[in-house]
Amino acid sequence: MRLGRPVLWVFCGLVGFWLVAPALIVLPLSFTGQASLVFPPRSWSLRWYANFFGDPAWIGAFWTSIQVAVLVTVVSTVIGTAAAIGLTQGRGRAVVAANALILSPMIVPGIVFAIGSYATFLALRMVGSLGGFVMAHTVLALPFVVIPVAARLRGFDRRLELASASLGAGRWATFRQVTLPLVAPGVLAGALFAFVTSFDEVVVSLFIQSPYLQTLPVKMYSSVSRDTDPTIAAAASMIIVLTTVLVLVASYVTVRRSRAR
């Protein structure tokens, strides 16, 4: 064990480096002065960002992604929180089945869901529509909302709700003033997971996109397989910065909330 410690540390250091290295090279790469994806860059410039913001295809894909992700977050957080409350209150076989159904998008391979959605959306004329993206992503995001909210609900003392009800609070008042504040960290985590799930989704989006409506990862995918233009690195950096800021803000809010209590 005594010799094991330093070995374990070196091992973890190497694994940790390997885990974060890919994310770290993207940021400097986006400021390269060259027109190729050579790392480390030998000169610096901001022209790939200028390219990103100047090209309607890139900036359009970026806004589509934001729009879709925000809508998905709202829809899946509301529906998922309601479902989690219902699931933790019910009992029996129906609950087990409903639970399995809600979690199944995590298990069914993305490509299977993707071609199924493609066939369905072709029939419904929903290919390349905002609604199509929102629905497909919401399905994928639901488990990530239900899991943390349900965990919170199982973790707190349900007698608090009874107490509130026995003191004369209505069902809605009990929900607003007792249940919701107690499960809020779970809801917040769920909302964040939902946003990131939608914002990152590539496989299904690849099928249900159209040349007129693409999300950012889809635009990246098609650029990556076609050319080696460092604008991709600028787009990737934008994604990294956005998700990092979101995670930090959410963590900060959660920590502050738990301190306040």
Partner 1 sequence: MAVLDELTSAGGAGRGGAVAVAEPGTAADRRRTRPGLLVAPALILLLAFFVYPVLTMVWRSLTDPTPGLGNFVWFFTEPANLRVLARTFTTSLWVTVIALLLSYPYAYAMTAVGRRGKAVLTLLVLVPFWTSLMVRTFAWQVLLQDTGVVNRVLGSVGLGPLALIRTETGVIIGMTQVLMPFLVLPLYAVMSGIDLRLVRAARSLGARPLIAFTRVYLPLSMPGVVAGTLMVFILSLGFYITPALLGSPTDALISQQIFTQVSGLLRWGRGGAMGVVLLVATLVLVGLVALALRRTTPGQRAGGAP
Interacting residues with partner 1 between 57 and 76 (CB under 8 A): none
Tokens of 235: 């787009």
Of 136, 144, 241, the closest CA to residue 191 belongs to 144
Report the candidate in 247, 238, 194, 205 with the shortest Cα–Cα distance to residue 69: 194
Which is nearest to 72 in space by CA: 148, 132, 114? 132
- Does residue number 16 form part of the binding site for partner 1 (CB under 8 A)? yes
Shortest spacing between CB 53 and partner 1, in angstroms: 18
260 lines the binding site for partner 1 (CB under 8 A): no
| 33 contributes a contact to partner 1 by CB under 8 A | no
- Shortest separation between residue 165's beta carbon and partner 1, angstroms: 6
Of the pair 196, 213, the CB lying nearest partner 1 is at 196
Site residues for partner 1, 221-240, by CB under 8 A, read 221, 224-225, 232-233, 236, 239-240
Contact stretch for partner 1 (CB under 8 A) within 43-51, 56-64, 66-74, 160-168: 160-168
Interatomic CA distance for residues 176 and 86, integer angstroms: 16
Residue 29 engages partner 1 in binding (rule: CB under 8 A): yes
Shortest approach of partner 1 to residue 75 CB, angstroms?
8
> Burial letters for 63-97: b for 16+ Cβ neighbours within 10 Å, e otherwise?
ebbbebbebbbebbbebbbebbbebbeeeeeeeee
Smallest distance, partner 1 to C-beta of residue 241, A: 11
Q: Which listed residue (57, 66, 127, 139) binds partner 1 by CB under 8 A?
A: 139
- Rounded to the nearest whole angstrom, what is the least distance from the CB of residue 52 to partner 1 in the complex? 14
261 token code pair: 């209590």
Q: Are 129 and 71 in contact (CB under 8 A)?
A: no
